[in-house]
Amino acid sequence: MGVDASLEKARQTALSDLASKISTNVESRFDYLIDQKTKNREIESESNMKKIIRSYSSVTLDNVAEHIEEGKEGYAVYRYMKNSDLRAMFKRRVNLAKKWAKEAQERELEGKIGDALQDYYWSLALLRSCPDGDLETIAREGGEEVMTASIYQRVKDILDAITVKATAVENEDGQQRVSLHVIYRNKPAVNFNYKFCDTDGCSEVYRVKDGDGELLLPASFKLKRLKVTAEYECRDEANIHPDLQSVMESTDPVPFKAAELLVDTKDCQAVQAQDYAVAIAPVNPIEEVNGTTTVTEAMSPYLTTIQAIEKAIANRQFGTVRGCFTSEGWDMFQKLIAYGDAKLLRAPEVQFSDERDGVVCRSFPMSFTFRGNKRTFTEDVVFYLDKQAKVREVAFGLEKAAVDDIMSRVQWSLEARQVMVHFMETYKTAFALKRWDYINSIFSNDALIITGSVVKSAGHKELGIANVRQVKYTRQTKEEYMKNLQRCFDSNEYINIRFADNIVRRSAEKTDIYGIQIKQDYFSSSYGDTGYLFLLIDFEKPDAPLIHVRTWQPDKDPDIRDGRIGMADFNL
């Protein structure tokens, strides 16, 4: 109950009182969480009951009924909910925990240990907030296992299988910039998040991509004692669901001693910016003669361009390479180097390949640090060069696994596969570099736009939803979507998009129409989420692709055949 002269205050007081009643109701069932330790004492977890109970706040309560009485002194408000609804709230958290635990298993097998640790921890956090969370089980080889114990062990096993090596150190501006290489089970970690902690606190979160990362340290720090701490909580991304966000904000973290990783520094070499030099990976049209990798005569001008750009980035003398770019390419390069504190991560080992009207140069590793909220992103920058060996476009490359998946579709022409990879890289980069004009140009004026879990349409006469029952939708014009995007660009210091789990299909009836289903992790300085993106793209004009449908859903929908909105859900 809440009583106040203000109706709104009375309502809020009643909600707080209801949350308190829930706390009293379930508190006795949380004994197992108060002091939970493993037999070998490698992991300890002590939880404050009040903090756990606080996660059942008015923000996450569903199906709360209300009764209001008005009198001379103000309002008396009664808020109440059924016990069955309370149990349903616990069940919702358990279902979320199982979903993230399942995804963590998949990410673990793919070597995406950053994602796996995050998903495992989120699952554990939700289970710890449920009265019977310690009774939930998960399928493993050999039978069912208790989820909490299984997750503890899986996190420890992942952390024990990680090797971090320092490969180079460069002194700059009174700091040491250390290049790191992260190995998971004898392969480069696809992704991994970590930070450096000392008596003064912890650094920003650094992110590994395909094994490569970096670290900024004080000039006086002795590298022989270097340790990094695996980041598994990912609290900034936890706002993707109100229950998870409430739990993460209300509870203390679970410590994992194995998260502190000693860095192998025995092969670390001291370098200066001018010491970096572009190496050549043995990929066609690079030739290997008598065991030595050489550049074909045709590729020599392109290597010269990339070497000049590498030197300019390493020495931060960007203006010296203006002549290496076309006008549009130079504009994009300027935006790239202004995207955070842009640095060369290590000496590039580039790969060249022919593509339609030019050459593509891949595997140019760079890091981008944003001081505002301590974030560092690692990206493999891709350079698209024209026939004159000038860079006409720069992009953030897809993960190697995603490129390999698309390029393995041998039933499609090589050009079609190259166009697909190019488009996906340009698309994700356009959000990072805030290329509003480009994004506006690739959306059909009549595009169907689906945001969140709601389908929104601009009314294209030839595109419709095949099964209306599958998707709820409201209407939004392309103009409205682009206005919202501009506000997003204006209000964020940075935007970074990461793709995974891509599924690409081609229409049987219209062979220039492709559908891309892909998992998207979205990070910005004010917001983060994870969901499933679908793009229906017309490549009739490869140089001017058009998006007819864009959908985003926060989770898989059980009413859709594979859980994701896809090409089959639309009539072409």
SS3 readout for 368-400: EEECCCCEEEEEEEEEEEECCCCEEEEEECCCH
For the record, the structure tokens of 559 come out as: 């009413």
Q: Are 421 and 537 in contact (CB under 8 A)?
A: no
| Residue 551 confidence (pLDDT) | 86
The residue extents of the domains of the chain are 161-269, 272-397, 434-572
Percentages (nearest 5) of helix, strand, coil residues in the chain: 35, 35, 30
Lowest mean pLDDT among 15-29, 301-315, 545-559: 15-29
Q: Which of 15-19, 467-471, 476-480, 544-548 has the lowest average pLDDT? A: 467-471
User: What is the distance of C-alpha 73 from the center of its chain?
Assistant: 52
Check whether 280 has a pLDDT greater than 80: no
Q: What is the mean pLDDT of residues 362-369?
A: 85
- Collect all residues with Cβ–Cβ distance below 8 Å to 408 and sequence separation of at least 6: none
Q: Percent of the chain having pLDDT more than 70?
A: 82
260-264 and 162-172 beta bridge pairing: parallel
pLDDT number for residue 279: 52
> Which whole number is the average pLDDT over 147-152?
91
Beta bridge partners of 321: none
pTM (2 d.p.): 0.69
Q: CA nearest 494: which of 370, 394, 374, 378? A: 370
Encoded tokens for 482: 């682009």
Q: Could you tell me the pLDDT band of residue 32, with boundaries at 50, 70 and 90?
A: very low
Average pLDDT, stretch 255-279? Answer: 80
Name residue, tokens 């989120």.
122
pLDDT confidence of residue 410: 84
Cβ-proximal residues to 404 (8 Å cutoff; 6+ apart), any chain: none
- Fold of the domain spanning 272-397: Nuclear Transport Factor 2; Chain: A, (3.10.450)
Provide, rounded to the nearest whole percent, the portion of the chain with pLDDT above 90: 34
**Architecture of the domain delimited by 434-572:** Roll (3.10)
The pLDDT mean for the chain works out to 81
Provide the H-helix boundaries in 338-432: 400-407, 414-432
pLDDT surpassing 50 at residue 211 = yes
* pLDDT > 50? residue 288: no
Q: Say yes or no to pLDDT of 47 above 80.
A: no
Is the CB of residue 57 less than 8 Å from the CB of residue 246?
yes
Do residues 349 and 286 touch, judged by C-beta distance below 8 A? no
CB 191 within 8 A of CB 107: no
* pLDDT for 44: 38
pLDDT in the model for residue 54? 58
355 pLDDT higher than 80: yes
Q: Is it true that the peptide bond before 285 is cis, omega within 30 degrees of 0?
A: yes
Task: Give the confidence band of 320 by pLDDT, cuts at 50, 70, 90.
Answer: very high
Give me the mean pLDDT over the 42-67 stretch: 58
Best mean pLDDT range from 218-227, 278-287, 520-529: 218-227
Is there a common fold for 272-397 and 434-572?
Answer: yes
CA 38 to chain centre: 32
Cα(58)–Cα(181) distance, rounded to whole angstroms? 45
Q: Which CATH number fits domain 161-269: 3.30.70, 2.60.40, 3.10.20, 1.10.10?
A: 2.60.40
What count of other Cβ atoms lies within 10 Å of the Cβ of residue 502?
A: 20
